[in-house]
Amino acid sequence: MLYRHRRQRRKMRKGVLILLSIAVTFGFLVYGFEKQVAVFSKSYIPSFAHRAATEAINDAVTAKINELDYSYEDIVKITYMKSGEVSAIETDSQKINLLKAQTTRAAQDELTAIKHSQIDIPLGAFTGFTLLSNAGPGIPLTYSMTGSFNSHLESIFENAGTNRTIHHIRLVVEAEIVTASVDYEDTMNLETDFEIAQTVISGSLPTIYGGLRTVY
């Protein structure tokens, strides 16, 4: 009877040790997994977030530009002297302000729509073996993006030959994007430009316009 009791106690101790070993091993695996996730966060999130934010901005701004459908004549008025020289180039500040405001808002709304994003990292990537890096189911890695936007228009005059000048109107959108996950946070700055309108100006330009790049 005593022998059976001792035997049961030995089995219980052995079972406890096994469970403890499993728990410790599992703890080390979880710890190692978390450390690896932190490494992947710094490697994967910046490139994915940069691409996602850039695509969102480009899509939103392009759609808004197409919707407004401004022509060069809608934005700029050129006045000529009797001699054929350009006397003044005036821009429509109301349309310019509307364009900047609506494109900036569109970019902000699009970024808000993808505020919470997810990357699926193949399970094999956690093994450290190149051959297995793309194998296995995807492990979700979530992150969020918030940002602030600013925009301005650039007026650029490009020499196109004798008494001919190409006048470009370009919209420049600047963004400061904050990307964060559980164990990662970073800020990236993006800048992209869009051709709004252009025309070829015939006739001599006053010196004030020659080679001028103005921002408004």
- Contact at 8 Å (CB) between 151 and 175? no
Domain residue extents for the chain: 2-215
| Residue 209, helix vs strand vs coil | coil
Strand (E) or helix (H) holding 145? strand 138-159
Strand (E) or helix (H) holding 10? helix 2-68
- Contact at 8 Å (CB) between 40 and 141? yes
| Residue 82, helix vs strand vs coil | coil
DSSP 8-state secondary structure symbol assigned to residue 182: T
CA distance 207 to 44: 51
If you average pLDDT over residues 98-105, what whole number do you get? 92
At residue 216 the predicted structure's pLDDT band, cuts being 50, 70 and 90, is: very low
Select the more confidently predicted residue: 13 or 69.
69
Non-local (6+) Cβ contacts of 101 within 8 A are none
If you average pLDDT over residues 102-130, what whole number do you get? 77
pLDDT of residue 22: 65
Tell if the pTM clears 0.75, that is, is over it: no
pLDDT of residue 65: 92
DSSP 8-state secondary structure symbol assigned to residue 68: H
Residue-wise pLDDT for 137-189, tens only, equals 667 777 888 888 999 988 888 887 777 888 899 999 999 998 887 777 888 89
User: Per residue, what are the HEC states of 19-58?
Assistant: HHHHHHHHHHHHHHHHHHHHHHHHHHHHHHHHHHHHHHHH
Instruction: Look up tokens 């316009």; give the residue.
Output: 209
| Residue 3, helix vs strand vs coil | helix
Inter-CA distances, 63 with 59, 104, 174, 213, Å: 6, 12, 17, 26
Instruction: Look up tokens 């996602």; give the residue.
Output: 52
pLDDT of residue 210: 46
Q: What is the mean pLDDT of the chain?
A: 76
